[in-house]
Amino acid sequence: MILADKITEERKKNGWSQEELANQLGVSRQAVSKWESAGAVPDLQRILQMSELFGVSTDYLLKDEMKAENITYHESTESYAEPLKKVTMENANEFLDMKRNGSKVVANATSMCILSPILLIVLVTMAEDSVFHVSESLATVFGCVFLLGMVAAAVFLFITYGMSESHMEHFEKECFETEYGVSGMVREKKDSYEPIFIRGTAVGVVLCILAVIPTIIAESMEASDYYCGISVGLLLFILAIGVNLLVRVGMVKSSYDTLLQEGEYTKEEKLFKKKTDTFSGVYWCLTTAIYLAWSFWTMSWDITWIVWPVAGVLFAALLGVVKMVLKNGSETQHYI
């Protein structure tokens, strides 16, 4: 296979148009077109650039006798042990539609979990201040029924969404190739969505910050328990709206990153995740065992909960170290 054919093949594997490749190389689209039609030969600098962009060796590009199976990729060869799945335009649009619709479901379910204790808090504080002629125990019953009902409905939404999208979860976990034009289409949609993502994220974060204002006002005015309960309810209500916005725009943005294999979904990150899955499973099993053993031994359940926030922070630190070790190891192996 000659250089022209190899450039065409590798460009299509990455889902780039001639113009996209030209922009990355700093040349005109006509130059790329000439290379692919064997009307011209790129200079050494461009060949080196393409070697880095395509993740192949310069030997593969320059030597006609070298075939695709002899390519030496910069990423771990483990990712190319099997043929990569192809993502068609239909697959991509189906995935984006599913994530866009699913973002509403997940966002609403998350908000329901946040809103679930509001009635319990308000009713109990009303009963304590004798605002209504309702006993505290009856207020607690009504509040708990509402809380459990909301949480149960939210869990139902989480489960149904998770099961409905399971047939496409490989996009987030496995490496794949996109057919010609797919990456360009996704990139265009991502660019047009960027202002919405920025605005939604900004508004969501601001609402989460402003949510504490009602409780601050109630505390400063030394209000009764009833008004304090309402202020907490307002806090949760505003927080639910803010989180809803963050989840919605975050999931849509994440769907574009998934298909473009950017951010947390690059081929390298997917490989690291596969390698760290075992570590994650062992770590959390050990954490659970330690928590249960300590709790049953001391029966101090009001203290042993501290295991979870400590374990969460420690997990993030250890996972970072594991990724760094794996990355250094793969780089060393590549140079050898």
Is there a single domain that holds both residue 117 and residue 230?
yes
Q: How many CB atoms lie within 10 A of CB 24?
A: 14
Quick one: 324 and 277 in the same domain? yes
**Where does a domain end: 42, 58, 80?**
80
Entry pTM: 0.63
Cα distance between residue 49 and residue 58, in whole Å: 9
Please tell me whether residues 131 and 216 are part of one structural domain: yes
Q: Cβ contacts of residue 323 below 8 Å, gap of 6+? A: 272, 276
Asked if 224 and 129 count as a contact pair (C-beta separation under 8 A), the reply is: yes
Judgement on whether residues 248 and 280 belong to the same structural domain of the protein: no
- Do 223 and 96 lie in a common domain? yes
Residue 32 has pLDDT above 90, yes or no: no
Report the C-alpha gap between 124 and 135 in whole angstroms: 9
Domain tally, the chain? 3
Q: What is the domain range of residue 334?
A: 272-336
- Tens-digit pLDDT profile for residues 57-70: 777 777 766 565 44
Looking at residue 166, the DSSP 8-state letter turns out to be G
- Using the predicted structure, report yes or no on whether residue 336 has a pLDDT greater than 70: no
CATH assignment of the domain containing 44:
1.10.260.40
Which tens digit of pLDDT belongs to each residue from 96-136?
999 999 999 999 999 999 999 899 888 888 887 776 777 77
Residues 110 and 156 in one domain: yes
Domain co-membership, 220 together with 100? yes
Residues 163 and 199 in one domain: yes
**Pair of tokens at residue 235:** 């806090």
Q: Which of 27-41, 95-109, 110-124, 153-167 has the lowest mean pLDDT?
A: 27-41
Same domain, 72 and 94: no
Last residue of a domain, one of 42, 62, 80: 80
Look up residue 166 and give its two tokens.
Answer: 């399971």
Do 149 and 232 sit in the same domain of this protein? yes
Residues 152 and 233 in one domain: yes
In the predicted model, what is the mean pLDDT of the chain? 82
Angle (deg, nearest 10), helices 213-220 and 225-260: 160
Residues 39, 25 contacting (CB under 8 angstroms): no
Do 70 and 187 lie in one domain? The reply is no
pLDDT digits (tens, 9 = 90+) for 196-252: 999 999 999 999 999 999 888 888 887 777 788 888 899 999 999 999 999 999 999
Q: Which of 39, 54, 80 is the last residue of a domain?
A: 80
